[in-house]
Amino acid sequence: MAKKLRFEDLESPLIRQRKPGDQFHTVGVIGLGVMGQGIVETVAGAGIEVIGVEKTDATLKTGLDSLNHAMDLEIKRWGKTASEKRAVLSRVRGTTTMADLKDVDIVIEAVDENFELKRRLIDEFYATGKPKAIFISNTASLSLSKLAEGAKHPDQIVGMHFLNPVPVIPLVEIVRGMKTSDATFVLAKAFAERIGKTPVEVFEYPGFITTRVILPLLNEAMHVLMEGIASARDIDTAMKLGYGMQHGPLELADAMGLDEVLMWMDTLWHELGETRYRPCPLLRRMVRESKLGKKVGEGFFSYNEDGKQK
C-alpha cells in the first residue's frame, strides 16, 4: 500500500511553515474582473490580506468599485452585513505594479482565458516574486502543463478552477499539471480549505470536471431554443423542476458570461474534436451582438442592475 503523503514528509520549507489551519498572511490576485473580484472577496473574507493587481489605474479603480458594488448588493439581499463588508475591504489594497507581490507566498491569476497572457504573467511574477511562491492559474480549460513549460519553477504552478459566483459556490477544482509537485498540491489544497472551499483533485485534461460536464448541457439547451422547441423560460423551468437544478441551463450560461462559454466550447471543440462541444450557432450570434449575459444586462434573459431577471 502506498504511503500516505504527510506534511512533515515534504521538503519544502514553505509547506513546513504553512500547515492546514495556519494563517496564510498575504495573497496576490492578478486581474480584478468578475472572477478576480469574487476571489478577492472570498480570500479577504477568510481573514487574509489581499493585494489586487490590474494593468492600469483606470481598470484597477473599476475593479475595486465593482467589488464594492457587488458587496452592497449582497447586503441588500441580506447575504452580508455592512461590518463584514468593511472588514473585507480593510484587507484589500490595489496596485498596478507586479513587483508589489514580491513578498507573497501565493499568487492567483484570474485574467481572461488567453494562453499567452497567462504565460507572460507567470514569467513577470517570478522575475520579482519569491522563488518558493506558488503560482495558481484560475483557468477553466487551458493546459497547466503547457503554461508551465519554460517557466522558472514549473513544479510550483497549479490550477485552481473557481466557479462563479466565487463567494457562494463551495467548490474549487485543484488541477495538477505534469510537473506540479506534491508539495505544491498539498499547499493549494490547504489554502482552498482555509478560504472555506471544498477542493477536488483533478489531473490535467481539457475541461477538467465541471467545465467538461456542463458545456454539453448548456449547448443542447441552446439548440432546443434555436430550433423553436420551447421558450428560454420553459426550458429552464423544465430542467429546474424536472432535475432539481437550482438554476436552469440558459440562466446558468448567462451568469457565466456567454463570451466565456463560447471561448470554453471553442477550446474543447478544437482540443477534443468532439461534436458535443461545437458551439451552437445561436450562441455565436448572441456573442456577436454583444448579448453576453447577466454582466451586461442581456443574454437569454434580461436583467436589472441588481442582476435579477426582469
Please give the backbone phi and psi of residue 172, each rounded to the nearest 5 degrees, phi first.
-145, 135
- Residue 150 or 71, more confident: 71
pLDDT band at 12, cuts 50/70/90? very low
Identify the residue whose cell numbers are 449575459.
293
Q: What is the spatial order of strands in the sheet that 49-53 belongs to? A: 92-95, 49-53, 26-30, 106-109, 134-137, 157-162, 171-176, 198-203
Kindly tell me if the per-residue pLDDT of 8 is higher than 70.
no
Rounded to an integer, the average pLDDT of 256-263 is 94
pLDDT band at 22, cuts 50/70/90? low
Q: What are the grid coordinates assigned to 274, written together? A: 468532439
Close Cβ partners of 86 (under 8 Å, ≥ 6 residues apart) = none
Q: Report the percent of the chain where pLDDT is more than 70.
A: 93
Superfamily for domain range 211-296: N-(1-d-carboxylethyl)-l-norvaline Dehydrogenase; domain 2 (1.10.1040.10)
Residue count (the chain): 310
Indicate if the alpha-carbon torsion angle 283, 225, 171, 39 is positive or negative: positive
Instruction: Provide DSSP, 198-233.
Output: EEEEEES-TTTTHHHHHHHHHHHHHHHHHTTSS-HH
pLDDT digits (tens, 9 = 90+) for 57-96: 999 999 999 999 999 989 998 888 999 999 999 999 999 9
For the 23-203 domain, the top CATH level (class) is: alpha beta
pLDDT band at 179, cuts 50/70/90? very high
What's the confidence (pLDDT) of residue 14? 46
- Average model confidence (pLDDT) for the chain? 90
User: Residue 55's closest CA among 128, 111, 119, 126?
Assistant: 111
Give CA angle at 147 (146, 153), nearest 5°: 110
Rounded to an integer, the average pLDDT of 175-190 is 94
Task: Give the whole-angstrom CA distance, residue 162 versus residue 173.
Answer: 7
Indicate if the alpha-carbon torsion angle 93, 97, 102, 104 is positive or negative: positive
What's the confidence (pLDDT) of residue 307? 79
Q: What are the grid coordinates assigned to 261, written together? A: 462559454
Instruction: Give domain limits for the chain.
Output: 23-203, 211-296
Kindly tell me if the per-residue pLDDT of 17 is higher than 50.
no
Kindly tell me if the per-residue pLDDT of 34 is higher than 80.
yes
pLDDT band at 139, cuts 50/70/90? confident
What's the confidence (pLDDT) of residue 204? 85
